Amino acid sequence: MKSFLNAVKNGELGFVIKNSVFLPFHCEIITIWIGKEMSLLSTPDLIADLCDSDLLSMREGDSYTNLVFRKWSDLHKELGHNKGHIILRAAEKGADIFNNENLHYIRMRFADHKRELSFEIFDDPFDL
């Protein structure tokens, strides 16, 4: 299993194809926020039911995690060029999710001209 802390620290990139994102790591996802950059007029969609197959599908390979957002058609088009992002609330795979110190926010940013995703870890999504 690949650690997201190491992947982010090493500057590993993911990529997006239409409504599907490929992450170069594994993690225990608690919630997902997806939406436009924060403002007083926009609020992100919060996905907490990760079992809703009409909304989200997940699969894991040996070295990656793939998330398919069924409600959206083209994430790069909708969120690219600094228009939005996806935020995961997650813990390392196998970590105790009940220990708050193990939970992190991971922000996925969409590159302007490529289909690459970059990642950053931060403490408070309301400080973006």
Q: Which of 110, 18, 34, 23 is nearest to 67 (CA)?
A: 23
Coil, helix or strand at residue 121: strand
Per-residue pLDDT tens over the stretch 95-105: 999 999 999 99
Domain boundaries, given as residue ranges, for the chain: 4-127
Specify the pTM: 0.86
In whole angstroms, give the CA distance from residue 26 to residue 94. Answer: 10
Per-residue pLDDT tens over the stretch 23-70: 999 999 999 998 776 555 566 778 888 888 888 999 999 999 999 999
Share of the chain above pLDDT 90, in %: 56
